[in-house]
Amino acid sequence: MKMNGAQILVQGLLDQGVDTIFGYPGGSVLPIYDALYDANIRHILVRHEQGAAHAADGYARASGRPGVCLATSGPGATNLVTGIANAYMDSVPMVAITGQVPSALLGRDSFQEADITGITMPVTKHNYIVKDVKELAMTLKEAFYIATTGKPGPVLVDIPRDVSGGTMDYEDPGPINLPGYRPVLEGKEEQLNKAAAAITDSIRPVIYAGGGVIGSGAHQELKRLAELLMAPVTTTLMGLGGFPGDHPLYLGMLGMHGSRYANYAVCESDLLIAVGARFDDRVTGKIESFAPDATIIHIDIDPAEIRKNVRADIPVVGDVKIVLNQLLPRLEAKLSGAWQQKIDQWKKEYPIGYEEDNDKLKPQQVISAIYKATRGQARIATEVGQHQMWAAHYYTYTRPRSFISSGGLGAMGYGFPAAIGVQVACPDEVVFDIAGDGSIQMNIQEMATAVNYQLPVNVAVMNNGWLGMVRQWQELFYNRRYSCTELVNPDFVKLAEAYGASGIRVTRGADLKPALEEAIRNSGPVMLDFVIEREENVFPMVPPGESLGNMIG
């Protein structure tokens, strides 16, 4: 059958099971938008391409299916870059499709030309520019395969306009042949046996779980492992929800803004079992004194993560879920003992908490109220900053894919478009974007998208009139010289109303519950302006460059 490139693209998306894409039209993607006009694919029109990339990312994190975003050449494509880099850092399966100027105009600084494959080379798992319509179907198939297998990540496909407009007799592209891409999924027997022996010998084990647990769907295996060994579990920011937050073995997060008991447990452990985590500097603190007494078992899909930052005594390369299933039968149950008692003692001594004050509004109190109002069942997206850490500490995540946050890249402006993607993926669930007054303004234009599609996303702005996390660092490490961190903000309630959304302002703890109930009841997007205590800090904290044991606050 004669088809043009755009129709082949749509067919390829349908073949991959794609039913939703996030995008923004433009000159170089006109043929693609023409093909989408009567295609059985839902297109969400964002208001800025960065929103499309983040929404596709949020969609992917919530659903486990690859997110797809689409933008035109030049500025459309470059606007995707932050979102692509974000997905790359957090290993999110995404396919970004960009239009490109016609092949004949490539390399001539043509109107709206940008070398997007060159630009995104370091922030994609792989990328393509399709030079011939005959290659398009196979390229697309490879793109989805690469994005979703092994360690997931974003793949960009750049399509010049003469390729999307060019025609050919369509035929199925056939099987994929990528000799340079063979992810290792199963752990090696030898390594598994070593790991099992180390686990059997350990007295003070700690499981350190990351985003890989959620990515590979290994949360049940992780729980079985922890319960079998009676081993405490700490998670990274990306791992939140990968282990039930209300489980007695749970330690909360570790690292810079981890709990004291998680960090102390890591410092004193004799065996650290890293599961789908990559020893980020925010997790390890000072590398030289990280888990000094521990044998480290490192389970990861990506061989390059082994010994990248921290020594690994027993590396096991493979898919976390598969490896845990290989490992579990080799282990015997352990009993709770002195180690668990010590940890329980730490938990009692150093709880994470704050002082409630019903006349003022504390951010921690807001997050706790959101937790109560949603009965812990909401999908929570966040922006980046203090509110992100409070959202990590004071909402209890009991299931995977319920905490959606920019971890590696730390991209302000991520949460709101991501929440839109989450809401599109989970139309019947309550979705919150927990935001700061700084972050929310980085992609505030997406309120128009939320109103357009009547997506009932609730935006909870922790409004303290500061770029709070930067202010906190200035307070602690720069002598309170608050350089360029105080914000003059718009009226968020009026702003929401101007977009056609609802706005609610809350200034007292006593008003929290009714405001949240109203927001959740509302069938459209709601902006909640929580005017919080201005100089509340995120504690406890490991100062930069310090060991995990040296926490302040």
Q: Which of 14, 104, 176, 178 binds other proteins (CB under 8 A)?
A: 178
How far, in Å, CA of 17 to CA of 510, rounded? 47
Q: Are the C-beta atoms of residues 292 and 267 closer than 8 Å to each other?
A: yes
Q: Distance between CA atoms of 275 and 208, rounded to whole angstroms?
A: 6
Q: Which residues contact 119 (CB under 8 A, 6 or more apart)?
A: 77, 78, 81
Which one among 64, 165, 248, 303 touches other proteins, defined by CB under 8 A? 303
**Residue 304, interface with other proteins (CB under 8 A)?**
yes
* Residue span 262-301 as binding mask against other proteins, x where in contact by CB under 8 A, dash where not: ----------------------------------------
CB 78 → other proteins: shortest distance, Å? 18
Q: Binders of other proteins: how many residues, by CB under 8 A?
A: 18
CB of 305 to other proteins, least distance (A): 8
- Specify whether the CB–CB gap between 458 and 423 falls below 8 A: no
Q: Which residue in 65, 134, 224, 307 binds other proteins (CB under 8 A)? A: 307
Determine if 119 is a binding residue for other proteins (CB under 8 A): no
Least Å from the CB of residue 142 to other proteins: 8
With binding defined as CB under 8 A, does residue 329 bind other proteins?
Answer: no
302 lies in the site for other proteins, by CB under 8 A: yes
- Based on the shown chain and the rule CB under 8 A, indicate whether residue 85 belongs to the binding site for other proteins: no
Burial state string for 91-112 with b = 16 or more CB within 10 A and e = fewer than 16: bbbbbbbbbbbbbebeeeebeb
Task: Using the minimum distance from each CB to other proteins, give the nearer residue, 142 or 529.
Answer: 142
Q: Which of 17, 174, 175, 180 binds other proteins (CB under 8 A)?
A: 180
> CA–CA separation, 420 vs 42, rounded Å?
14
Q: Where are the alpha helices (DSSP H) in 166-314?
A: 189-201, 211-215, 219-229, 260-268, 281-284
Among 249, 306, 327, 526, binds other proteins (CB under 8 A): 306
Q: What is the dihedral of CA 246, 250, 251, 254, to 10 degrees?
A: -100
Nearer to other proteins, 305 or 383 (CB): 305
User: Contact with other proteins (CB under 8 A): which of 14, 121, 203, 498?
Assistant: 121
Choice between 102 and 549, CB closer to other proteins = 102
- Whose CA is closest to 488, among 467, 465, 472? 465
CB of 88 to other proteins, least distance (A): 11
Task: Name the token pair of 111.
Answer: 């109107």
174 is a site residue for other proteins (CB under 8 A): no
Which residues 6+ apart lie within 8 Å of 479 measured at CB?
none
Applying CB under 8 A, which of residues 117, 139, 405, 406 lies at the interface with other proteins? 117
Residue 308 interacting with other proteins (CB under 8 A): yes
Among 17, 175, 179, 427, binds other proteins (CB under 8 A): 179
Two tokens, residue 241? 């929800």
User: Using an 8 Å Cβ cutoff, are 455 and 520 in contact?
Assistant: no
Spatial separation of the C-alpha atoms in residues 22 and 421, rounded to whole Å: 8
Contact status: 6 vs other proteins (CB under 8 A): no
Which residues, 6+ apart, have CB-to-CB distance to 307 below 8 Å?
A: 315
Range 122-161, binding other proteins (CB under 8 A): 122, 125-126, 129, 146
Binding site for other proteins (CB under 8 A): 117-118, 121-122, 125-126, 129, 146, 178-181, 302-304, 306-308
